[in-house]
Amino acid sequence: MLPDLTDLTTLRRLLSEAPAPDDAARQGASERNGQLTKPPGALGRLEDLAIWYAGWRGDARPQIESPQVIVFAGNHGVTAQGVSAFPAEVTVQMVANFEQGGAAINQLARAAGARMDVHALDLDNPTADFTQAPAMSESECLSALRKGWEAVDPDCDLLVVGEMGIGNTTSAAAICHALFGGSASDWTGRGTGVDDAGLTLKTDVVARGVALHARNHADGLDILARLGGRELAAMAGAIAAARVLRIPVLLDGFICSAAAACLNAVSPSALDHALAGHLSDEAAHAALLQQLGKEPLLALGMRLGEGSGGALAINILKSAVACHSGMATFAEAGVAGG
């Protein structure tokens, strides 16, 4: 049962108290893996993935039957600074495309056998320009976190969250710069495809935004409110809910990972239930995954967002679990050498 998310203090407490994986299930899965009809380690990382998944589901011989993909959409006031190659109206238009089943994520979710949900978050009311003020008040951030928290189906057995929001690579870059330091240029990329002049402008916007809020944040949730967007907060809320429910998560690209990093800054175990679905082509994603200690499952040069890389990775994890749970042991198959 998922508790109510009443305030940010509650979220901080729930993250610090979140359950660990089931050691007995993980051990049972490891023992089963050693008895399957294959040479030890022959399936490589697939074996580790299956054992990891078994621990989080509390079942030594699990199945993945009900994955969920959730796409959150939000608009950003910082787009007034000219940081994107596309206008903010595209967010609304793409939400309609998601709802009509016409986007890449719709096809990838369908191919993975995943339920897909779309949540538009107050698109007519963009967040504040974070170079001038906090992007969201604490109550606005909590509202978006709660939207993600409540969007997770407690009966799903694997979660992917994605986003749509013109300007959100700028927000993600600012979050990473605030969390991990370095220079603004270390974290700022071309996003939807800005030219060299646009990249210079975007980098300056990230630097100014982080400088404005540098002394006024306490932890990752404060950074999320000051520099994030509603869709980033909702993704963080959904990832946190999955952590409490012990539902494994496949992280998408740079923006999703930046949202997740805010949780990691609150509790170092907040992302233990999460794997990196893929390595985005967005320049700073590799550095961000290194900070989070996550090795991506795929690296296909994708940078679309929408949850697309995470959704594509569902079938990798499904395959790992299918081999683990469906293969016969040496004894069951009557094969010598077990």
Choice among 231, 295, 306, 332 that is catalytic: 306
Mean pLDDT estimate for the chain: 97
306 is annotated as an active-site residue: yes
What tokens were used for 140? 């606005």
Q: Mean pLDDT, to the nearest integer, of 230-244? A: 98
Q: Mean pLDDT, to the nearest integer, of 301-305? A: 95
Q: Mean pLDDT, to the nearest integer, of 200-225? A: 93
First to last CA, the chain: 42
pLDDT in tens, 291-302: 999 999 999 999
pLDDT in tens, 131-182: 999 999 999 999 999 999 999 999 999 999 999 999 999 999 999 999 999 9
What tokens were used for 59? 């079942």
Q: Which amino acid type is present at position 315?
A: N
The residue among 95, 162, 87 whose CA lies nearest residue 122 is 95
Q: At residue 62, does pLDDT exceed 90?
A: yes
Position with higher pLDDT, 156 vs 217: 156
User: 120-129 in b/e burial notation, b at 16+ Cβ within 10 A?
Assistant: bbebeebbbb
pLDDT in tens, 44-59: 999 999 999 999 999 9
The residue among 178, 313, 200, 308 whose CA lies nearest residue 254 is 308
Q: Mean pLDDT, to the nearest integer, of 282-291? A: 97
Q: Mean pLDDT, to the nearest integer, of 2-11? A: 96
Q: What are the start-end ranges of the H helices in the chain?
A: 8-16, 23-33, 45-57, 89-99, 104-111, 138-151, 168-180, 184-187, 196-213, 220-227, 230-245, 254-266, 285-292, 308-326, 330-333
Q: Grade residue 65 by pLDDT with cuts at 50, 70 and 90.
A: very high
- Please, what is the Cα angle at 77 between 71 and 82, to 5 degrees? 105
Q: At residue 255, does pLDDT exceed 90?
A: yes
- In this prediction, residue 218 carries a pLDDT of 77
Q: At residue 338, does pLDDT exceed 70?
A: no
- Please, what is the Cα angle at 106 between 102 and 112, to 5 degrees? 150
- In this prediction, residue 192 carries a pLDDT of 84
What tokens were used for 1? 């049962």
What tokens were used for 221? 């949730």
Q: Mean pLDDT, to the nearest integer, of 71-85? A: 96
pLDDT in tens, 80-135: 999 998 999 999 999 999 999 999 999 999 999 999 999 999 999 999 999 999 99
What tokens were used for 95? 């939400």
What tokens were used for 71? 């796409």
The residue among 211, 98, 246, 66 whose CA lies nearest residue 165 is 98
